[in-house]
Structure 1
Amino acid sequence: MDALAPYLPLIYTILRGLAVIGLVHALITRQPPYWMITLGFAAFLGGIFSMVFSLVYVFTVLIPSLRGGTRVAGQAVARGVEALKPLDTRIREAQARLDESDTLQHRADLAALQARAGRPDDAQATLASLLSGIYADDPVVLLTSAELDLARGDHAAAEHKLTRVDLRTSAATRTRTLTLLAQAQDAQGKPDADQTYRDAITGATTEEPRARYAAYLIRQGRAADARTLLDQIAKTESRATNLYRRQEREWFQMAAGLRKELK
């Protein structure tokens, strides 16, 4: 035991790191509560028994899940661990990757992080060179830049970029583009927003356009039309799978709030 004494701090750090990774994995994969509680104690409070349980989790749950679905589970854990880093740290790392290799993905990643940090001007500057280069018509660039314009209140610029997006790229791109376009038109008081919302709802891949259109209808004083739309969303939610409910939670909650507003 004396021989191990110099290495005990390192062993403790490794065990605590495994506990953090295990906790992230447990949260992402929705493991039973007792795992989350035990791993939480190990990650934040330490303790020999909690540390032992974190090892048990790693060898009985984490490693087998990685073997069963190595790529998916591994990516999920990596995303979870990455999400634990402070936003400023992630921005610095993204900037370093961009400095090393100036690619579309690296610029888009950095811009997204800057936007999350409440720095839309920096994010727009990061994308600026793409808007005049070979990626000027890339849907990812146009959508990301348009979202930043909306956040900055430059609705006309957002509308101009969104009209350039190729709606044939994918159903998801079409839904997102038309939803943002309707928001930009609405913010400028343009009547075109009504039809754009309707177009966004057709073949939509998310509940967002319906929820936002319902809010638009309420602002326009069309409560009956909004109530019909909100009832449709409620019916969709009641029939949806658990996965879809989780995926669309924000919009189902928005719709529920709007229904209360109409009562």
Structure 2
Amino acid sequence: MDALQPYLPLIYNVLRALAVIGLIHAVVTRQQVYWIVMLVFGALFGGLFGLAFAAVYTFMVLIPALRGSSRVAGQAVARGVEALKPLDLRIREAQADLAESDTLQRRADLAALQARAGRPDEAQATLQPLLSGIYADDPVVLLTSAELDLVRDQPAPAEEKLRRVDLKASAATRTRTLTLLAQAQDAQGHSEADATYREAMTAATTEEPRARYAAYLLRRGRGDEARALLDALEKTERRATALYRRQEREWFQQGRDLRKELK
């Protein structure tokens, strides 16, 4: 034990770091609550049991996950670490990246962060140079700008931009475009929103159009149709892989919330 004495501070710091990494991984991959609770103790307080759990989690969960799907697990942890950064810091970093190299993707990323921070006018200003340049008809630009229009309660300009998107670009682009278009039409009181939602659900790459259409039906007193849609969404969630459930958790959660309104 005396021989280990000089290394105890290093071992303590390593275990504390593993507790932090394990906590991020556990939250991102939605592990059991007891793992998260014990890792919180290890990360925040460094207690004996918390650090012991960090070591156990590392060998029982984290390392096997990295071995089985190192790329996916690494990306999940990286997203978790990025998500822990304050939004203002992420915006400043995105602004610095844009100043270093002004690309379409960096402008779109910065605009998305500004929109999340509740600064839609800044986000629109970030995108504005692209709307009149060579990228004016790029799906990324049109979709991002249309989303900002909807946030600013300007559905008519959003609809105009969405109608310029090439629906053949990709299945994901088609799904996102039609879903936003249905929202824009609904906001303007246009009856074709119903048909657009149905079109968005055909060969959709996400559960968003189904969840949003169910909400649309509920608002119009069409509870039986909404119930059938929500039952199908619940069935999809039960049969989905863990990865797909994590990817679509926002829309599965919305489906659960809407089912409560039906009771």
In which range does the TM-score fall when normalised by the shorter chain?
A: 0.7 to 0.9
Q: 1:41 to 1:160 in 2, by over 3 A?
A: same
Is the Cα contact below 8 Å between 1:155 and 1:184 reproduced in 2? yes
Name 2:66's counterpart in structure 1: 66
Q: 1:197 to 1:64 in 2, by over 3 A?
A: closer
Is the Cα contact below 8 Å between 2:211 and 2:254 reproduced in 1? yes
Name 1:211's counterpart in structure 2: 211
TM-score by length of 1: 0.84
TM-score by length of 2: 0.84
Q: 1:29 to 1:196 in 2, by over 3 A?
A: closer
Tell me how far 1:168 sits from its aligned partner. Answer: 0.8
Counterpart residue type for residue 128 of structure 2: A
For 1:197-246, what per-residue CA distance to the aligned partner results, in whole angstroms no more than 9, with x for missing partners? 2222222233332333333344445x2xx522431330342254243455
Name 2:180's counterpart in structure 1: 180
Is the Cα contact below 8 Å between 1:234 and 1:252 reproduced in 2? no
Q: Which moved more, 1:22-31 or 1:100-109?
A: 22-31
Structure 2 Cα separation of the partners of residues 186 and 73 of structure 1: 39
Tell me how far 1:177 sits from its aligned partner. Answer: 0.7
Structure 1 Cα separation of the partners of residues 93 and 22 of structure 2: 24
Name 2:193's counterpart in structure 1: 193
Q: Which moved more, 1:246-255 or 1:90-99?
A: 246-255
Tell me how far 1:150 sits from its aligned partner. Answer: 0.3
Q: 1:232 to 1:184 in 2, by over 3 A?
A: closer
Structure 1 Cα separation of the partners of residues 80 and 251 of structure 2: 23
Q: Which moved more, 1:178-187 or 1:42-51?
A: 42-51
DSSP-derived class of the 2:150 partner: helix
Name 1:25's counterpart in structure 2: 25
Structure 1 Cα separation of the partners of residues 26 and 217 of structure 2: 41
| Count of residue pairs the alignment pairs up | 259
Is it true that 1:234 corresponds to 2:231 in the alignment? yes
Q: Supply the RMSD in Å over aligned alpha carbons.
A: 2.9
Is the Cα contact below 8 Å between 1:19 and 1:51 reproduced in 2? yes
Name 1:78's counterpart in structure 2: 78
Q: 1:249 to 1:54 in 2, by over 3 A?
A: closer
Structure 2 Cα separation of the partners of residues 214 and 25 of structure 1: 33
Name 1:160's counterpart in structure 2: 160
For 1:164-208, what per-residue CA distance to the aligned partner results, in whole angstroms no more than 9, with x for missing partners? 111111222111111111111121122332322222222223333
DSSP-derived class of the 1:173 partner: helix
1:106-117 pair list within 5 angstroms? 106-117=106-117
Structure 1 Cα separation of the partners of residues 213 and 60 of structure 2: 48
Tell me how far 1:258 sits from its aligned partner. Answer: 4.3
Name 2:99's counterpart in structure 1: 99
Is the Cα contact below 8 Å between 2:227 and 2:262 reproduced in 1? no
Gaps in structure 2 of 5+ consecutive residues = none
Is the Cα contact below 8 Å between 1:207 and 1:233 reproduced in 2? no
Tell me how far 1:134 sits from its aligned partner. Answer: 2.1
Structure 2 Cα separation of the partners of residues 209 and 138 of structure 1: 22
Structure 1 Cα separation of the partners of residues 187 and 231 of structure 2: 27
DSSP-derived class of the 2:79 partner: helix
Tell me how far 1:132 sits from its aligned partner. Answer: 1.7
Tell me how far 1:89 sits from its aligned partner. Answer: 1.1
For 1:79-115, what per-residue CA distance to the aligned partner results, in whole angstroms no more than 9, with x for missing partners? 1111111111111111111111111221111111111
Tell me how far 1:141 sits from its aligned partner. Answer: 1.3
Is the Cα contact below 8 Å between 1:237 and 1:245 reproduced in 2? no
Q: Which moved more, 1:126-135 or 1:159-168?
A: 126-135
Q: 1:52 to 1:257 in 2, by over 3 A?
A: closer
For 1:44-83, what per-residue CA distance to the aligned partner results, in whole angstroms no more than 9, with x for missing partners? 1222443344245445543443344322211111111111
